[in-house]
Amino acid sequence: MKAEILQLNPILIPSINDKLNALYTVRRLYEQSDKDAYVRQHAAAIRGAITGGHTGISRALMEQLPALQVVAVNGVGTDAVDLAYARQRGLAVTATFGALTEDVADLAIGLLIATCRGMCAGDRFIRAGQWVKHPQPSAIPLARRFAGMRVGIVGMGRVGRAIATRAAAFGCPIRYTDLRAMDDVPWTFVADLKQLASESDALVLAAAADNAEGIVDAGVLNALGKGGFLVNIARGRLVNEADLVAALSSGQIAGAGLDVFVDEPNVPPALFAMDNVTLQAHRASATIETRTAMGEMVLASLASALAGQRPEMTLTT
Ligand code: 8YV
């Protein structure tokens, strides 16, 4: 008999879904209108769960699944999973480390260039027929140069390093902060986030959000200053969103490129009217290449955990 898997988020790669369906009885929770009833109906048999990094899985749901052996996170952020509880229960919680590094770093640089060069605002200007109406070059304000910007990176993990490598290729001096200095990177460590912001033209967030809620607040944004840009491809809750909206509204910082938000899919409406803000719908890992690689890692993690082995990408076992 096939093992039963509870899937909390859709996977958009057909070949991965085909493999999941061939190997398991997949209970797709995200398709159900009465999720509680569906969980009650299938809970006893569920041996594995698949979820997204942002969605995670609640402790209450894990507690309802007595046969659960593995939670395969289709992402790298495990901040929405109670790892301490999983450890205590001997559940493997796995992630897709390494699969999404390049795409997330690409989007970080893309968001930064799009924001400081006003690319989305320029696109909207043309689509709205404004260029024809206002052909004079002064109709669009001059933008800012990315090459050579002082880039401050918050979180020097895989993604932070990939962002640093890309920015360095644009001639950007790189500083970073993390819990400690890394001896295997050539970039300058700055222990204090506010100091890093004050020494940066662009602050790029690439940190895990587990213990870092609201670290980018009014003080840090003030330190980043009127010429500074914020990019977030990590987690919305690293930022105090009300402080960010206030800093953008008052011109305290120059702009922001944001892929993640505190309460997705809800984005502060005040941002919609700001031409110095570039918005993405949590898309940094959303390429066919990366999502295929992530899906394969999810399959590998499920297979080894359900065979009684320790999955390579486990954080808890
Ligand atoms: C994904 C993410 O969008 O890796 C993460 O932690 O948030 C993203 O890569 C998400 O996990 C897709 O399910």
What is the Cα Rg of the chain in Å? 21
One fold for 4-99+288-306 and 101-279: yes
Q: Is 87 a catalytic residue?
A: no
* 267: pLDDT strictly greater than 90: yes
Q: What is the predicted pLDDT for the residue at 237?
A: 96
Q: Among 282, 288, 290, 315, which residue has the most ligand 1 atoms within 8 Å of its CB, making it the best to mutate? A: 282
* Neighbour tally for 294: CB within 10 Å: 27
Distance in Å, CA 166 to ligand 1 centroid = 21
Single-letter code of the amino acid located at 96 = T
- Mean pLDDT, range 215-244, rounded to an integer: 98
Closest by CA to 78, choosing from 280, 283, 282, 235, is 235
- Tell the residue nearest (CA) to atom 1 of ligand 1: 75
- Where does ligand 1 bind, in terms of residues with CB under 6 Å? 9, 52-54, 74-77, 100, 282, 285
For 286, residues 6+ apart whose C-beta sits below 8 A from its C-beta are 12, 103
Q: How far is CA 54 from CA 33, 37, 146, 148, in A?
A: 21, 23, 30, 33
> Which residues partner with 205 through β-bridges?
154, 232
Nearest to 218 by CA among 242, 190, 182: 242
SS3 assignment, position 243: helix
Encode pLDDT of 289-314 as tens digits.
Answer: 999 999 999 999 999 999 999 999 99
Please say if the pLDDT value at position 95 is more than 90. yes
Q: What is the CATH number of domain 101-279?
A: 3.40.50.720
Is residue 235 part of the annotated active site? The answer reads yes
- Provide the pLDDT confidence category of residue 271 given band limits of 50, 70 and 90: very high
Query: Atom 4 of ligand 1 has which residue's CA nearest to it?
Result: 75
pTM, 2 dp: 0.96
Give the mean model confidence (pLDDT) for residues 269-281: 98
From the list 52, 157, 180, the residue with the least C-alpha distance to 105 is: 157
The mean pLDDT value for 181-206 works out to: 98
4-99+288-306 classified as CATH 3.90.1150.10:
no
Q: How confident is the model at residue 211 (pLDDT cuts 50, 70, 90)?
A: confident
CA distance 149 to 206: 18
Provide mean pLDDT across the span 2-16: 98
pLDDT at 254: 98
Q: Say how many Å lie between the CA of residue 74 and the centre of ligand 1.
A: 6
Catalytic (active site) residue 282 = yes
How far apart, in whole angstroms, are the C-alpha atoms of residue 179 and residue 155?
A: 8
- Is 281 buried (19+), middle (13-18) or exposed (0-12) by CB count in 10 A? exposed
Average pLDDT, the chain: 98
pLDDT for 145 equals 98
Helix (H, G, I), strand (E, B) or coil at 198: helix
Domain boundaries, the chain: 4-99+288-306, 101-279
| Structure tokens that stand for 246 in this block | 């206030």
pLDDT digits (tens, 9 = 90+) for 127-149: 999 999 999 999 999 999 999 99
Q: Cα(110) to centroid of ligand 1, in Å?
A: 18
* Per-residue model confidence as pLDDT tens digits over 214-225: 999 999 999 999
Ligand 1, atom 13, lies closest to the CA of 52
Give the angle subtended at the CA of 167 by the CAs of 162 and 171, to the nearest 5°: 145
